[in-house]
Amino acid sequence: MRTLIVDDNPLMRETLRAILESLGAHVTEAADGNLALARLDDAALPFELIVCDLRMPNRDGIQFLRGLAEHNVCAGVILISGHQADVLSAAANIGRRHALNIIGHLKKPFSRADLRDMLTGFAARDRRPVAAQIDTPVDEADIRRGFEAGEISVVFQPKIDCTSLEVVGAEALIRWNHARLGPIPPAIFVTVAASSALIDTLTEFVLNESLSLAAKFGLGAPPVPIAVNLSTHSMSRLDFADRLFATVNSRGATPSAITFEVTESRLADNLASLIETCARLRLMGFKLAIDDFGTGFSTLEQLQLLPVSELKIDRAFVGGANADTRARSILEASLLLGAKLGLACVCEGIETRAEWDLIRSLGHHIGQGYFIARPMPGQDLVAWMNTWRTRTAGGTVA
């Protein structure tokens, strides 16, 4: 892994170099943010990992993050500092607002094990190109062409009861492997589709693929529920619930086997229509979840207005919560709130054993993330379920 260490302390750079090289990294050093940006410009190949101190001369770590964003850097970034945890957390949030791939942050002094665990989670991630890597914009015509060419597909990521270790669901996720541009993040093409009726085409495609999977493999008895993302652009239309019910009914499936996740970062312009659609979906027997709870507009207002049955707590409060007291406090409060409201709580983005162990210790909740399983094609899900049962035969995750 091509790694750049940015720290003004020679001893810290030496220590980090020794740890990272023992983990297989190829290390380059820089004593401040200005030198680090020069290293980025001079590198023959892009760095895959950047470990950066916050307090440095000439250009501090927070200024350096802005520089990384201006360079469209896609490397994973770990922030380190002797400052209080709230400063580190704020810096990490700044990096995420710059669309940087912030892996996490560590307070000095930290151990080799702390860094190794963070890198283990990073290595497990699906390193798909991010928006900054796609120079050619895609439009509605491109997406339609992608459908016709068979480039758009659906993968499934399991959800696990962290106490019983049983498979309790799977989320259906849309993917586009463009023939020329490669994998395109859903955030890009779903946003394009949401500006037109094409978003309904995407939704119906994902729903039908999910129903086909359930019909083909059975996925247990009772069937494993499949979660499908819905756009609030679609849900503002009053006939949308009827269309979804008709699709599920025509395939001989039961609504209770489908969970619809509200995924928009904002509430619909026509809030009354959104609430009506959600209420009708629940009356029809579907389950309803708030996705990315705690971020954007997926907060207490939605929880009060929408008749949801499930709360999906965002990765921002799960990742590193074992070491970040603020994130852990928010995570625990969210789980407690969900429990008081009688909602199932799903912790998204579990990537390390430390995160898994924390979620398990917090009670009877559901986990989802790369520590458990990557998203996979539907035909691989049943085989994975058998492997998971073997992996957890002793009551713990091997």
Do 178 and 64 lie in one domain? The reply is no
Do 271 and 386 lie in one domain? The reply is yes
Q: Could you tell me which of 61, 53, 60, 76 has the C-alpha nearest to residue 5?
A: 53
Contact 208, 247 (CB under 8 A): yes
Q: How many structural domains comprise the chain?
A: 2
Q: What is the CATH number of the domain that holds 99?
A: 3.40.50.2300
Q: What is the pTM of this model?
A: 0.77
Q: Is residue 129 part of a domain?
A: no
| pLDDT for the residue 126 | 43
Do 290 and 169 lie in one domain? The reply is yes
Do 44 and 168 lie in one domain? The reply is no
Do 243 and 263 lie in one domain? The reply is yes
Distance, first Cα to last Cα, the chain: 26
| pLDDT for the residue 377 | 93
Structural tokens at position 139: 């439009």
Q: Of 97, 124, 151, at which residue does a domain stop?
A: 124
Spell out the residues 6+ positions from residue 216 whose beta carbon is closer than 8 angstroms to its own: 378
Do 240 and 327 lie in one domain? The reply is yes
DSSP conformation letters of 236-270: TSTTHHHHHHHHHHHTT--GGGEEEEE--SS--SS
Q: Of 124, 148, 174, at which residue does a domain stop?
A: 124
Do 45 and 182 lie in one domain? The reply is no
Q: Of 124, 153, 171, at which residue does a domain stop?
A: 124
DSSP conformation letters of 177-204: EETTTEEE-HHHHHHHHHTSTHHHHHHH
Q: Residue 80 pairs with which residues in a beta bridge?
A: 53, 106
- Give pLDDT tens digits for 50-104: 999 998 888 888 899 999 999 888 888 999 888 777 788 888 888 888 888 888 8
Do 200 and 248 lie in one domain? The reply is yes
Q: Is residue 368 part of a domain?
A: yes
Do 111 and 161 lie in one domain? The reply is no
- Give pLDDT tens digits for 168-225: 999 999 999 988 888 888 878 888 888 778 999 999 999 999 998 877 766 544 567 8
Structural tokens at position 71: 């360079």
Do 178 and 291 lie in one domain? The reply is yes
Q: Which residues of the chain have pLDDT under 50?
A: 126-134, 220-221
Please give the residue range of the domain that contains residue 253: 134-391
Q: What is the CATH number of the domain that holds 214?
A: 3.20.20.450
